[in-house]
């Protein structure tokens, strides 16, 4: 391999590793809660799974997260392989039985895979001082990627529980015709009920903003689907603003504002309809089914 080609391969490998690490950071720890790469993979898996019907929708969230983790790991593995490939075999020492002459890109992939998985077989070891410093860095990245993947999975399910709990609460209120009975309730009771729904919607708003992957998880039933029940929260807010109680009207105004902000996040991050609140909620219902 020529010197120019070696530097091109090295630069391409470094770019792949940096993009993967940057995307992990944006997905796991950035306030936006979504890297462009992970968001694109999740959206693609979502669109594919929707074509498979209800069962596909229920698998879309876990399948999307698995594909994102595989994408991250693949980019890190191939990126480092591109860094090692131009330097095989001169910068490495080979153990007995290892190929020395005319190594291929697969040898570089093997070396990268062993390093990123922290296996350390020892059949191919670096002799270049720079590579002796670089290869442990890949092992640290591999360990960090495994830790990040486990943490990512663990942080998703509490957010899903909050969303489904809100949907179930709204379904229960709808079954008892709460919106039609608000004006008959004691003002303090009505305001407390509405404030509880508002708090839950605000928490779900933050979950959608911070844990974007939760949008792509299907729900086990219509009663636990926020897309199917959030319209009733809109109705509650409107009914509260027609009540005679000042406390209920204020609580209804807060609920209406919280729904408006939730719709804004849904439209900006996922739906992109450019519609008003009712249009966004209708699109959300259709998208979630």
* 18 or 55, higher pLDDT: 18
Same domain, yes or no: 195 and 238: yes
Q: With bands split at pLDDT 50, 70 and 90, how would you rate the model's confidence at 100?
A: low
Maximum average pLDDT range among 53-57, 88-92, 260-264: 260-264
Same domain, yes or no: 245 and 186: yes
* 236 or 102, higher pLDDT: 236
The residue from 100, 125, 149 where one domain ends is: 149
Same domain, yes or no: 219 and 119: no
Condensed to tens digits (0 to 9), the pLDDT of residues 223-279 reads 999 999 999 999 999 999 998 889 999 999 999 999 999 999 999 989 999 999 999
Same domain, yes or no: 143 and 160: no
Structure tokens at 224: 């636990």
Domain residues for the domain of 228 are 156-288
Same domain, yes or no: 102 and 161: no
Same domain, yes or no: 142 and 182: no
CA distance 39 to 145: 17
Residues 159-188: what's their mean pLDDT?
92
Instruction: Indicate if the pLDDT at residue 1 is higher than 80.
Output: no
Whether 232 contacts 173, CB under 8 Å: yes
pTM: 0.83
Q: Cα 45 from chain centroid?
A: 12
Same domain, yes or no: 73 and 114: yes
pLDDT for 107 equals 87
Q: Cα 148 from chain centroid?
A: 12
Same domain, yes or no: 121 and 94: yes
Same domain, yes or no: 256 and 121: no
Residues 37-60: what's their mean pLDDT?
85
CA distances from 217 to 24, 212, 213, 288 (A): 20, 10, 7, 9
pLDDT for 73 equals 93
- Number of structural domains (the chain) is 2
pLDDT for 91 equals 85
């Amino acid at each position: 391999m020529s010197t120019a080609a070696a530097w091109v391969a090295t630069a391409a490998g470094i770019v792949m590793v940096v993009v993967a690490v940057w995307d992990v950071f944006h997905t796991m720890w950035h306030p936006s809660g979504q890297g462009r790469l992970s968001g694109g993979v999740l959206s693609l898996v979502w669109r594919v799974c929707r074509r498979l019907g209800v069962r596909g929708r229920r698998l879309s969230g876990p399948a999307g997260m698995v594909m994102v983790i595989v994408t991250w790991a693949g980019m890190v593995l191939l990126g480092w392989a591109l860094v090692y490939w131009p330097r095989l075999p001169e910068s490495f020492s080979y153990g007995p039985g290892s190929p020395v002459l005319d190594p291929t890109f697969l040898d570089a992939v093997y070396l990268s895979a062993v390093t990123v998985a922290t296996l350390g077989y020892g059949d191919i070891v670096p002799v270049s001082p720079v590579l002796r410093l670089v290869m442990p860095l890949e092992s640290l990245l591999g360990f960090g990627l495994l830790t990040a993947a486990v943490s990512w999975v663990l942080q998703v399910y509490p957010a899903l529980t909050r969303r489904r709990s809100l949907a179930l609460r709204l379904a229960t209120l709808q079954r008892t015709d709460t919106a039609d009975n608000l004006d008959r309730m004691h003002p303090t009771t009505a305001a407390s009920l509405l404030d509880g729904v508002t708090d839950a919607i605000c928490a779900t708003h933050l979950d959608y903003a911070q844990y974007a992957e939760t949008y792509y998880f299907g729900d086990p039933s219509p009663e636990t689907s926020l897309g199917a029940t959030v319209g009733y929260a809109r109705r509650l807010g409107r009914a509260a603003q027609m009540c005679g109680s000042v406390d209920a009207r204020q609580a209804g105004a807060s609920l209406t504002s919280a729904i408006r902000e939730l719709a804004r996040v849904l439209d900006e991050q996922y739906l992109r309809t450019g519609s008003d609140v009712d249009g966004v909620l209708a699109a959300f219902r259709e998208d979630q089914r």
